[in-house]
Structure 1
Amino acid sequence: MLEHLAVVLFQPKFPENVGAAARACANMGVARLIVVAPHNFDPDRAGALATAKGREILRTAERPSDLESALAPFSRVYGTTARTGGWRKGIVTPRHAAEEIAVALAGEQDVALVFGPEDAGLTNRETRLCGRLVTIPTASEATSLNLAQAVLLTLYECFLAARGLREPRPGPDAAGRRPPAAPGGREITHAEGEALFSALREALSAIDFLKDDNPDYFLLPMRRFAQRVRPTRAEFNMLMGVCRQILWAVGRVQKNGPAGDG
């Protein structure tokens, strides 16, 4: 049920937590574990807490060097955070996120769940890469969760939501043909989304729509909007064309002077 879901551990500090997270993945049927730039990783210490099924997930875990490349192929990215406010807006609970994730997985979209370092979690820069932010409700006196606990709780909600989905995606017919794709094609990947936001930042800065002091912050509402809308590849091409046209028009005005100057 969770074949298209991946757990991403960013800069985990303790190998034992990585092993316990691998065990949680095995418990919930998630085979894909991505470990980004871990501190002092020791496979033996990690394996001791992973159990047999978890050790196989550890053995095949991907080890990219940075978070952006790790997230590049995914259509949807959910980051986890215990802190709220400021840059961290539109935060949902694991149950709410799981409902969205289950629908995406049923449509064979690739989804990533990102967990930050044990001591500090994801920074603002890293949460900016996530289309949606998830926080696990806790008692106000103790908000910090163990990394593997957070992984298990979030995956448990995804498992329940996926199991409860009553309308599975139609499979191939007798001739082996699948139903036609949705209009506009597949959803854009994380890498394509980042390329689009880079183009939007350049185009909107060129027309003074974004503030020069912190354009990434003022671009956040557009990121959240895109996460809700789920642009397709066809819409991506259209928006990239709009950005190119804006930059061309601004360059033409700057070259020729204000309209009416002759």
Structure 2
Amino acid sequence: MEHPLHGLDVVLVQTRFPENIGMAARACVNMGCGHISLVEPERWLRDKASPLATPKGQALLDGITVHDSLADAVADSALVIGTTARRGGWRQAMLSPERCAAEVAACLRQGGRVSLVFGPEDRGLDNAAITHCHRLVCIPTDPAASSLNLAQAVLIVLYACAAAMREADRREADRPEAGAAAGGEPHGPRNVPQPEAVEPASGKADAPGPLASAADQERLMAALRDMLLRIDYLHGDNPDYFLMPWRRLFGRAQLRRHEYDALMGMCRQVRRALERKEG
């Protein structure tokens, strides 16, 4: 049976305690997410995670994949969203859990894969990890007690994603053409204000080509970085920091593969022109 959040991968980076992995697995099965990836876990002991995953989470524990890098873990995803409690600096343009869920649902309904990335229990995602995330989500909490348990954070974000998928399915079923196709009148509530949730998805059949993967986007960022350094647009001691607005721009754009190909072609042509000029 396909999971309600099929295509969504929870990525846990440098987890310290296997018990937290077990609790995160329980949260995943509660919300219909079928896969967890681990990136450089400090300790991955299945027997320690198992009791906290409950019987329903055992199959998910069996399917866990372990990766040497975050880039490898998210390579196949079209959308990578990192979670953070901190703001400022590298952490700009935060999404609410609801807005995050809307973007996740839209991507999944277009056939794209999504990675939700959670950092270590004691410090969260560092700046190097943030660069691999197209978007960032922050769970609002009381400032006096802002720290969440890892599994709590997983549960909250996945709950929002599952709710957004259900809302998208309901809205799709309520479309007039859906009712006509079923041989009856469209049903469901009308003239009800909609929450900030899912944009109406056109579905896979109408999607103009596949989405570019995170690995594609990393190659594009490397080519763009090289081009911008050559023309002295990026400079200083920390060009990766000044490249972040471009990362966010392309992350929001949800590039299609043919758009990625066009941008890569542009970067190659600019590089060749500059090399001829320098030569």
| TM-score (ref. length: structure 1) | 0.91
| AA aligned opposite 2:158 | L
Paired with 1:196 and 1:5, the residues of 2 have a C-alpha distance of: 23
- The 5-angstrom pairing of residues 88-167 of structure 1 reads 88-165=91-168, 166-167=171-172
- Which of the numbers 199, 206, 217 marks the counterpart of 2:241? 217
CA apart distance, 1:181: 5.1
- Which of the numbers 196, 207, 211 marks the counterpart of 1:182? 207
Report the number of matched residues.
249
Paired with 2:236 and 2:257, the residues of 1 have a C-alpha distance of: 29
| AA aligned opposite 2:25 | A
| AA aligned opposite 1:182 | A
Paired with 2:86 and 2:131, the residues of 1 have a C-alpha distance of: 14
CA apart distance, 1:242: 0.8
Paired with 1:230 and 1:114, the residues of 2 have a C-alpha distance of: 18
- Which of the numbers 203, 222, 236 marks the counterpart of 2:227? 203
| AA aligned opposite 2:224 | L
Render the CA deviation track for 1:180-228: whole Å, top value 9, x for unaligned: 5533x11100000000000000011111111142111111111111111
CA apart distance, 1:161: 0.7
Q: Is the 8 A contact 1:94 1:157 kept in 2?
A: yes
Q: Is the 8 A contact 1:9 1:116 kept in 2?
A: yes
1:251 aligns with 2:254: no
- Which of the numbers 5, 12, 18 marks the counterpart of 1:15? 18
- The 5-angstrom pairing of residues 231-242 of structure 1 reads 231-242=255-266
Render the CA deviation track for 1:141-172: whole Å, top value 9, x for unaligned: 0111000000001100101111111227x9xx
Root-mean-square deviation (CA, aligned residues, Å) is: 1.9
Render the CA deviation track for 1:22-72: whole Å, top value 9, x for unaligned: 000000011111111111222111001000111110111111121110010
Q: Is the 8 A contact 1:116 1:122 kept in 2?
A: yes
Q: Is the 8 A contact 2:110 2:204 kept in 1?
A: no
Paired with 2:101 and 2:135, the residues of 1 have a C-alpha distance of: 11
Q: Is the 8 A contact 1:205 1:212 kept in 2?
A: no
Q: 4+ residue runs of structure 1 moved beyond 4 angstroms?
A: 178-181
Paired with 1:88 and 1:147, the residues of 2 have a C-alpha distance of: 19
Paired with 1:110 and 1:89, the residues of 2 have a C-alpha distance of: 23
- Which of the numbers 71, 74, 84 marks the counterpart of 1:71? 74
Q: Is the 8 A contact 2:110 2:207 kept in 1?
A: no
| AA aligned opposite 2:123 | A
Name the counterpart of 2:39. Answer: 36
| AA aligned opposite 1:216 | D
Aligned-partner SS, 1:247: helix
Name the counterpart of 2:191. Answer: none
Paired with 2:254 and 2:264, the residues of 1 have a C-alpha distance of: 15
Name the counterpart of 1:192. Answer: 216
Q: Is the 8 A contact 2:19 2:49 kept in 1?
A: yes
Q: Is the 8 A contact 1:47 1:58 kept in 2?
A: yes
Q: Is the 8 A contact 2:111 2:204 kept in 1?
A: no
